[in-house]
Amino acid sequence: MIKNTLILLITILVLTNCQSGKELNQNVITSDITNFWNAYDRITATQDSVLQYKYLDSLYFQKGTVGLEGIRQARNYTPEDYINSINNYPKFWHSIRENTLKVSKINSELEDGIKKFKAIYPKLKPAKIYFTIGAFRTGGTTIDSLVLIGSEISLADSTTETIEFPESLSHLKLHFATNPSKHLIFLNIHEYVHTQQNLRVFNILSLTLYEGVAEFIASKALEKKSPNPQIEFGKKNAERIREVFETEMFYPNNLYKWLDGNAPNEFGMRDLGYYVGYQICESYYNQSDNKADAIKTMIELDYTNESEVEDFIKKSMYFSKPLDSLYQSFEKKRPSVVGIKQFENKSQNVSPTTKEITIEFSQPLNGYNTGVDFGELGQDAFPKGTLNGRQWSDDNQSWTIPIELEPNKKYQIYITNNFRTEKSIPLKPYLIEFKTGDK
């Protein structure tokens, strides 16, 4: 009787362990990697472009998971992106292949990481992790409850071949040198955090905070330092980074200087917004008496609620001044439209024979970036003939556009903040509005 009971108990334990493994495999999906290499082998075996696209579609796209569909959607991957990448970087693909095929070995580590995350955030909602292969636009992103890993980036290491890469992919050379394949668990927990967060608001501060929360929570859950070099670099240059960010976070055109872009900055390191967001979270956490509540607040932050975000920022004590004060300083530096050369704005009797409008600015702009749009009256109230012949003055303090006007008609031209100074300070938007006379 005892023997039979023991056998039954062992059987139950074995079945339970098998079931746990099965559930894990259902939550970490790697089939897109196998499908990609099957397609890759057929694609590289022919020079016929029609066949190449056929193999990509039938062997990769059509057999793909919702994760592959998701990452293609999130990063706008086209069939051309894949075929061009496969044909142009054969040394890279040869060097990365073995790493991608080892991904199934990290399942148990991933499960441990998710359990650690749940330990500090008991409200953790389930998510599925998909290892896919993309075309160099992300190592990891999310859509709803799906974690989408771009394995061609996240499974690279310092031995991955990059000699074929163009300048537009030069940032990956530095990234691969940090051995991202050794930090897959951290990356996945970072992305897993995103599946728990509320929707982002697309301004630099909110996006920075959104990424910083994920980076900080991953670090706390796994009880290890972030492997991303931006965090260590940021701490060594904290004061200057904060000073520059306080100035530039209100510049809508400067996003790629701080996140997900290669726009040059004075520090020579991309993605420093991750550090800023991380440091805000760390400062908030350190100020909090209840650490569990602090973690909950970070993850559940409502980015659409300005007062909630401002309160979070205030309690972090990260910035040197209140946000309102920093914003007012920004507004004082912004260039503005000071007038129109040919007539006063809101004039009601502009001659319909007027052939151009010259917009005058309070200070010289960069002579390159421009932006015009329809006013609230729409396209019908926008003057014709404005596209060809636009020109800057020699000192870049005025900009002229040709126009074709009709008698007795109301017009609007919206001058956007895409105009900017050499230092990327955006113009205050300005609505030009006028009505033409009889003649």
Co-location of 145 and 66 in the same domain? yes
Q: Find out whether 33 and 132 touch, Cβ atoms under 8 Å.
A: yes
Residue 38: give the domain boundaries.
Answer: 23-196
Co-location of 313 and 382 in the same domain? no
Co-location of 184 and 291 in the same domain? no
Q: What one-character-per-residue DSSP string does 34-53 give?
A: HHHHHHHHHHTT---HHHHH
pLDDT band at 34 (very low <50, low <70, confident <90, very high): very high
Within-domain flag for 215: yes
Pairing verdict, β 128-132 and 146-150 = parallel
Does the pLDDT value for residue 100 go beyond 60?
Answer: yes
**pTM (two decimals):** 0.82
pLDDT of res. 90: 98
- Work out the average pLDDT over 269-295: 96
- Work out the average pLDDT over 93-117: 92
pLDDT tens for 134-143 read 999 999 999 9
Specify the number of domains making up the chain. Answer: 3
Co-location of 172 and 51 in the same domain? yes
Percent of the chain with pLDDT over 90: 85
pLDDT of res. 3: 39
**Can you tell me the distance from the alpha carbon of 140 to that of 129, in angstroms, rounded to the nearest whole number?**
10
pLDDT band at 11 (very low <50, low <70, confident <90, very high): very low
pLDDT band at 16 (very low <50, low <70, confident <90, very high): very low
pLDDT of res. 108: 85
Q: Find out whether 150 and 71 touch, Cβ atoms under 8 Å.
A: yes
pLDDT of res. 4: 44
pLDDT of res. 21: 38
Within-domain flag for 15: no
Does the pLDDT value for residue 9 go beyond 50?
Answer: no
> What is the pLDDT of the chain when averaged over all its residues?
92
Co-location of 152 and 218 in the same domain? no
At 65, which amino acid appears?
T
Co-location of 347 and 399 in the same domain? yes
pLDDT tens for 149-184 read 999 999 999 999 999 999 999 999 999 999 999 999
Which range among 65-79, 87-101, 256-270, 344-358 shows the weakest confidence by mean pLDDT? 256-270
pLDDT tens for 189-204 read 999 999 999 999 989 9
Co-location of 217 and 182 in the same domain? no
Co-location of 192 and 204 in the same domain? no
Co-location of 379 and 398 in the same domain? yes
Within-domain flag for 287: yes
**Can you tell me the distance from the alpha carbon of 282 to that of 267, in angstroms, rounded to the nearest whole number?**
22
Co-location of 322 and 340 in the same domain? no
